[in-house]
Amino acid sequence: MADKIALLLTIIGAVNWGLIGIFQFDLVAYIFGGQGALVSRIIYTLVGAAGLWCISLLFRDRDAVKE
């Protein structure tokens, strides 16, 4: 379950970075009141932690993950 949550947060972060890169539009900041808003900072932190968690997915044995 943690893998799926981390993957979802990483996808949200990737979409947000895509919007920033293409349109210079930060969706998270727009929704939650700016980059410095507490909720935005929490989301950025969760996305960063999820990205770090997803690094472990690269090094796992696929057969061991299937449940």
Distance of CA 65 to the CA centre of its chain: 21
Closest CA to 15 of 47, 57, 59, 38: 47
Which pTM does this prediction carry?
A: 0.83
* Nearby residues of 49 by Cβ (< 8 Å), 6 or more positions away: 6, 9
Q: Which two tokens stand for residue 46?
A: 């969760």
- Average per-residue pLDDT in the chain? 92
Distance CA 25, CA 62 (A): 37
What's the pLDDT band for 45 if we cut at 50, 70, 90? very high
58, amino acid identity: L
